[in-house]
Amino acid sequence: MMKVYDAVVIGAGHAGAEAAHALAKLNKKTLLTTLSAEAVAFMACNPNIGGTAKGHLVKEIDALGGIMGEIADKATIQVRMLNRAGGEAVHSLRAQVDKNLYHRLMKERLEETPNLDVLETEITDILFEDGAVTGVTTAPGDVIKARAVVIATGVYLDSRIITGGYERKTGPAGFMRSETLGKKLAERGIAIRRFKTGTPMRVLAGSVDFDEMELQPGEEGLPTFSALTEGGVRNDCNCYLTYTNAETHRIILSNLDRAPLYNGNISGIGPRYCPSIETKVVRFKDKERHQIFVEPEGTDTREMYIQGMSTSLPFDVQEQMLHTVKGLTHAKITRYGYAIEYDCMDPKCLNAALGVKGFSGLYAAGQINGSSGYEEAAAQGLIAGINAARYLDGAEPVVLTRGAAYTGVLIDDLVTKGTEEPYRMMTSRAEYRLRLRQDNADIRLMDLAHSVGMSDEKRYVKYLKKKEEIAEIKALLPALRFTSDVVSGAGINPGDSQKTSFSATELIKMGVKIEQILLLAPELERFMTESVVTAVIDIKYAGYLEKEEKRVREEARLNGTKIPEDIDYSAVGGLRIEAREKLVAVRPMTVGQASRISGVNSADITVLLIYLKKFGTNK
Amino acid sequence: MSDLIVGTATARGSSAVSIVRISGDNAAETASKIFFKKGLDLAGAEANKMYLGKIVAGIVSDKAFCMYCRAPKSYTGEDVVEFHLHGGRVVAEAVTEALMKLGARPAEPGEFTRRAYLNGKMSLSEAEGVEAMIAADSEAEAAAAYRALSGELDRTIRSVASLLVEAAAATDVALDYPDEMIEDTKPQIYDALSKAKSTLERVIGTETERKMTFDGISVVLAGLVNAGKSSLMNALCGADRAIVTEYAGTTRDVLRERLEINGVKVTLSDTAGIRENAEGAEKIGIERAEEAVRGADVVLFVMDGSVPECDEERALYNKVKTRAHIRVKNKGDLKDYPREADVTVSCLTGENIDKLRRLIAEKTGIRAMANPPLVRERQLFAAQGALRAVDEALDKLVSGTPDIVSHHIKEALALLAALTGDDAAESVVDEIFSRFCVGK
């Protein structure tokens, strides 16, 4: 009997899991397919979730009703807050995660989700009628009907794994790859390109001299990724820091002729931010040593991840260079590092809803879109899932703006600017960095989540409470005054001020830390910590936030001006040729998006606005 | 909801009246901070009515008309305030600058008209016209921007931008790679910012340098009737610009001519000669002459050396001498009565005309400029904003956190990117990876 679903999600990695969960949550009968049930939400590379900008993404996913944050909290074995010295806007939560546990918990969660079926099968083609999705075909030739499809195939399309002169035609970690689907996409006119990335070796904990390395313990008292997590997370595993040295570098340099990255065997474009050790040594010759972090892969395994030594050098060279590093001199490798090359799409073929332009009902998320990273994939998966569901409902897509979320920056960068390397989220990419913080992800996004049906009761009630408390605290703080004696008694340096007393607001603006404010003002204890944190940061950054707010509002006017999908740019008089070409290539959904395309200037935007207004296609 | 823009509606330079207008949010509130009339609350006042009052803008304080057009019944469809000011650049410039300080930004070419169109103040049939105008504007704009940014100035602005990119990358790399960036990048950030600051200061130039570049120096010829001012004007311009007759009082209105001295624009104004008992047009001419003298950067006090000094001349000199001036004894080829003068010239033979040019140059501080200041208000606005942001960044480097430092550096970069058209955010990311060894 033919299977009939509302939607099919191809691939059950971090993007696919969120997409399928969102679709099911929005009451769409959903099928999630995977080449291997053992590869569901598999962490193929580093065993951590979060970090700079990525931690922000996870908080946003949680605010939008996604599941990565919840599962990550449950699988956490060590947690830290990065960037304490950088300022509150860039505080970034990072968790070491038990990768097998994460996989198991996510798989279980998906299996338990109503409206969602998980099926191990290979999808070889997507079926269309009149440009609209009608279903998919499986490798054995069965047709599964669905009006919406999310492609979340990760690095599995025509992938190739390379270590030295040895290569295997598989997906990561030996999982089966997909050989047909990529070709079918190309046949349908979607631009396919080749990217590469890599992973370091794993070693056996028993063979590592931990006492020769610097200990990196976790931190206590940190917030969690998910608002639903209660009672904190597990935090009893350690990471270790060590360094490469001159001998390591000598071995690498003398074996460059055997390095696939340098002997022409790898042609895919690799990410600059995730360089292999051979790339680092070649590009930064003056650097005497590079950091190596040794991190546990989980609690049910003795394997350790050697962060900083991503490589595709031959097996014997990997052994040699690893053994020059302090603490790893007789480390036993359990898995060698490798480079992986894979097919992905040029994300400019997507619209801002993550829909593939020219194909109704077809969405894409994750590494297929040229991104990299678990968190980036999950954030896209969530939005693609929500928008696939909204497509089925005939509703307007959800498009997050750059001023609303890192997720918005991520998607806008991909679909508007495109990317020439696997794209990683960085805080420097966000122009509203002081506003897009992890502490206020819920404040920024939960009204939206609620309105599209993604928020659950528990999260939403907590959010409303937090919002109320923030308002209360903001009203309270200016009225709380402390004498300069009390202030200096609390160990706060009041500077050269002649004032005899300070309001809490003044102290915050002077840079006094949240913990110290809490000590001075016990009346704040009745509020949730997260409410105090957001209120205090908002006050500290008030002037800056106002400026950002003003720019966001200006941008919102352009973002609110839609461009009809069928616009004929050749009919828009007055556009410069370059601008016309770029607009035709990107086909932006809004004038705001158009304004961010490089090569489109403000005069072009004005001409476009006038054209849209003249033809009454815009309100 | 639209930001406040300011522009001069009338042509720059010589006109009896110049109009400066603003359009956008809080136009009336902003205007009421520089325009004062007893008992008048502009925001609540009757619209489309001219109010006579006082305008106070920086050092300028003058009588002016002010008109408030309340949205949507205005040219742009937004709240608009027009100031009708005395002609000449001084007042209009001071008012524009004061409005910019209050948050208005200089309008882009044609922006008032564009807003009018977008707010539905123009009919559809006018659309093509507007489009053509904008296309023309943008071409003119592009050409102007190219000219302005070609050569020296372009290289300077780009060098500042690249210093800022360096500073931003050095700040951001630690924020995006806190675990891996162990070296302290503060000295590098400080260095790059300090260099950017001093270059920006040089580019912006002093007030005088800017005036020289924007509008030139105003030099006014003044003197008694028949002192030979018009002849001197023609001699300085090297052309018969002013009508010269032997009859005293030939020049009635103020006549202006542009010329260059040491490559700097100079507006030379010939005025009606001053004499008692003048009537009608001549009398008005004399009033205007006196006004021109008040607005001059340098006054050339012209004396007829062929006649003896008189009380009238001394009296007039007393009025002029409080201003920067040069005493020019004219008709040096004719009879030579003694006078205290800085230079004696002959318009007939051309004697000492070059010397007079040199004196004008010295007096006004005109010199060949090593770094021409920015030439357009928009560029100046951007550079000044960038300088303020760089100052803030330097301050926060000491007293703030890196996220705030980065905020200010990027603010400066965004302003300069508007001049160079580069994608600032992408350059910072590129810089991070080319300079620092980060990434797992």
- What is the CATH number for B40? 3.30.1360.120
> From the list B127, B138, B429, which residue is nearest A429 (CB)?
B429
pLDDT at B271: 77
Residue B16: which domain range? Answer: 5-107
Contact B109, B141 (CB under 8 A): yes
Chain A contact present for B351, CB below 8 A: no
Q: Of residues B326 and B296, which shows the higher confidence score?
A: B326
> Which residues, including other chains, have CB under 8 Å from residue A566's CB and lie 6 or more apart?
none
For residue B260, pLDDT beyond 50: yes
Chain B contact present for A513, CB below 8 A: no
Chain A contact present for B176, CB below 8 A: yes
The answer to whether the Cβ–Cβ distance between A607 and B118 falls below 8 Å is: no
Pair (B64, B191) in one structural domain: no
pLDDT at B140: 46
Chain B contact present for A254, CB below 8 A: no
Residue B423 lies in a domain: yes
Specify the number of domains making up chain B. 3
Please identify which residue in the block is written with the tokens 């999950």. A378
- Quick: pLDDT tens for A571-616: 887 777 788 888 998 899 999 999 888 878 777 787 788 788 777 6
| A11-15, A280-284, A478-482, B54-58, range with greatest mean pLDDT | A11-15
pLDDT at B115: 78
- CA B177, CA A550: separation in Å to the nearest integer? 29
> From the list B135, B414, B440, which residue is nearest A310 (CB)?
B440
Residue A473: which domain range? Answer: 457-526
The answer to whether the Cβ–Cβ distance between B175 and A52 falls below 8 Å is: yes
Q: Find the closest chain A residue to B109 by CA distance.
A: A603
Residue A284 lies in a domain: no
Q: What is the mean pLDDT of residues A16-28?
A: 98
B82: enclosing H helix or E strand: strand B80-86
For residue A203, pLDDT beyond 70: yes
- Give the number of other CB atoms < 10 A from CB of residue A316: 11
Contacts of B426 in chain A (CB under 8 A): 417
Q: Find the closest chain A residue to B438 by CA distance.
A: A273
- CA B69, CA A313: separation in Å to the nearest integer? 73
Q: Which of B107, B140, B167 is the last residue of a domain?
A: B107
pLDDT at B244: 63
pLDDT at B111: 75
For residue B120, pLDDT beyond 80: no
The answer to whether the Cβ–Cβ distance between B131 and A86 falls below 8 Å is: no
Pair (B260, B338) in one structural domain: yes
| ipTM of this complex | 0.85
Please identify which residue in the block is written with the tokens 């009628």. A129
Pair (B315, B388) in one structural domain: no
Q: Work out the minimum CA distance from A184 to partner chain B, whole angstroms.
A: 33
Residue A485 lies in a domain: yes
Pair (B158, B247) in one structural domain: no
132-171 in chain A: CB under 8 A from chain B: none
Nearest partner of A152 among A356, A322, A327, A334, judged by Cα:
A356
Residue B410 lies in a domain: yes
Residue B144 lies in a domain: no
Residue type, A13: G
Specify the number of domains making up chain A. 2
Q: What is the mean pLDDT of residues B290-305?
A: 83
Contacts of A199 in chain B (CB under 8 A): none
Lowest mean pLDDT among A131-140, A310-319, B212-221, B321-330: B212-221
Please identify which residue in the block is written with the tokens 């042509």. B11
Residue A309 lies in a domain: no
Lowest mean pLDDT among A213-227, A238-252, B245-259: B245-259
pLDDT band at B139 (very low <50, low <70, confident <90, very high): very low
Pair (B241, B324) in one structural domain: yes
pLDDT band at B311 (very low <50, low <70, confident <90, very high): confident
Contact A131, A566 (CB under 8 A): no
The answer to whether the Cβ–Cβ distance between A83 and B178 falls below 8 Å is: yes
Q: Find the closest chain B residue to A88 by CA distance.
A: B403
107-126 in chain B: CB under 8 A from chain A: 108, 114, 117-118, 124
- CA A530, CA A223: separation in Å to the nearest integer? 8
Burial A168-193 (b: 16+ CB within 10 A, else e): eeebbbebebbeebbbebeeeebebe
pLDDT at A441: 97
pLDDT at B365: 64
Chain A contact present for B144, CB below 8 A: no
Pair (A461, A520) in one structural domain: yes
SS3 A360: strand
- CA B435, CA B165: separation in Å to the nearest integer? 11
Please identify which residue in the block is written with the tokens 């201003």. B323
The answer to whether the Cβ–Cβ distance between A428 and B402 falls below 8 Å is: no
- A578-to-A269, A581, B255 alpha-carbon distances in Å: 26, 5, 47
- What is the CATH number for A593? 1.10.150.570
Residue type, B102: L
Contacts of B174 in chain A (CB under 8 A): 86
- CA B419, CA B413: separation in Å to the nearest integer? 10
- What is the CATH number for B224? 3.40.50.300
Q: Of residues A286 and A242, which shows the higher confidence score?
A: A242
Pair (B95, B226) in one structural domain: no
Pair (B272, B349) in one structural domain: yes
Chain A contact present for B423, CB below 8 A: yes
Residue B20 lies in a domain: yes
Pair (B309, B409) in one structural domain: no
Contacts of B438 in chain A (CB under 8 A): 273
Lowest mean pLDDT among A399-403, A565-569, B267-271: B267-271
pLDDT at B253: 63
The answer to whether the Cβ–Cβ distance between A87 and B438 falls below 8 Å is: no
pLDDT at B312: 84
Task: Read off the pTM.
Answer: 0.80
Residue A246 lies in a domain: no
Q: Find the closest chain A residue to B410 by CA distance.
A: A431
Residue B40 lies in a domain: yes
pLDDT at B431: 73
Pair (B221, B287) in one structural domain: yes
For residue A65, pLDDT beyond 80: yes
The answer to whether the Cβ–Cβ distance between B176 and A428 falls below 8 Å is: yes
- What is the CATH number for B383? 1.20.120.430
Please identify which residue in the block is written with the tokens 């055997």. A258
Q: Find the closest chain B residue to A276 by CA distance.
A: B440
Lowest mean pLDDT among A76-90, A263-277, A548-562: A263-277
For residue B8, pLDDT beyond 80: yes
Q: What is the mean pLDDT of residues B73-90?
A: 87
Q: Judging by beta carbons within 10 Å of its beta carbon (0-12, 13-18, 19+), is residue B96 exposed, middle or buried?
A: buried
